[in-house]
Amino acid sequence: MASKPKKQIIHEAAVRLFRDKGYSATSMRDLADAVNLKASSLYNHISSKEEVLKDICFDNAHRFLDGMKEVEAMQGTATEKVEALLRLHIRAATGDAASVMAFNDEWRHLSNPLLGEFMALRKDYESRFLAILNAGMQAGQFQKIEPIIALHTIFSSIRWLHDWFQPGKKLTAEEVEEHVVRMLRDGLAADNQ
């Protein structure tokens, strides 16, 4: 088996440290210790902990934007599109918990211009999600809920899964996904659906 590239090993260790200690409390020294390097050698691989944070945040942002692009291109009702987006969020949370956790909580530590770029991607994603919610409201597929409230409720309602879900426990990732989708999709649906 080929060994992992050093950069990937450093990246994964950083995600675990950011999750366990928080970004601010994690030092380059901690990161060097976690991957058995001297701090001076670590700088041969990455220039700063912010570089790692940047990679986590932008990789995740692009993962969600790529998913959004696929959903927008789908033939289907707004209900089906929202369901597909719910599944995207839930699979990220159950499949790559540490990375999503760092992405949820730690992006505020980016400095400009990265912070501004990241926030623009985030804003773009939210606007496109809102547009789908609005379309569903106007088509009478959803009940009367302010789209911005539906959006925040959806985003927030999933923000425990990455912390709670453990593969091999009572419920599989697929079961968890079905139950959460059921609750949020049907909460949005108009009675006549």
Nearer residue to a copy of itself within complex by CB, 36 or 191: 191
Closest approach, Cβ 178 to a copy of itself, in A, equals 9
Closest approach, Cβ 124 to a copy of itself, in A, equals 19
Nearer residue to a copy of itself within complex by CB, 35 or 181: 181
Nearer residue to a copy of itself within complex by CB, 78 or 150: 150
How far apart are the C-alpha atoms of 155 and 173, rounded to whole Å? 18
Closest approach, Cβ 122 to a copy of itself, in A, equals 14
How far apart are the C-alpha atoms of 45 and 104, rounded to whole Å? 25
Q: Where are the alpha helices (DSSP H) in 22-48?
A: 28-34, 39-42
Q: How does DSSP assign 88-107, residue by residue?
A: HHHHHHHHSHHHHHHHHHHG
Nearer residue to a copy of itself within complex by CB, 37 or 86: 86
Nearer residue to a copy of itself within complex by CB, 123 or 182: 182
CA distances from 180 to 35, 50, 92, 104 (A): 37, 34, 14, 19
Closest approach, Cβ 186 to a copy of itself, in A, equals 5
Closest approach, Cβ 50 to a copy of itself, in A, equals 19
Burial category of 108 from C-beta neighbours within 10 Å (exposed 0-12, middle 13-18, buried 19 and up)? exposed
- The phi and psi torsions of 24 (rounded to 5 degrees) equal -60, -40
Residues that bind a copy of itself (CB under 8 A): 143-146, 149-150, 152-153, 155-161, 164, 171, 175-176, 179-180, 182-189
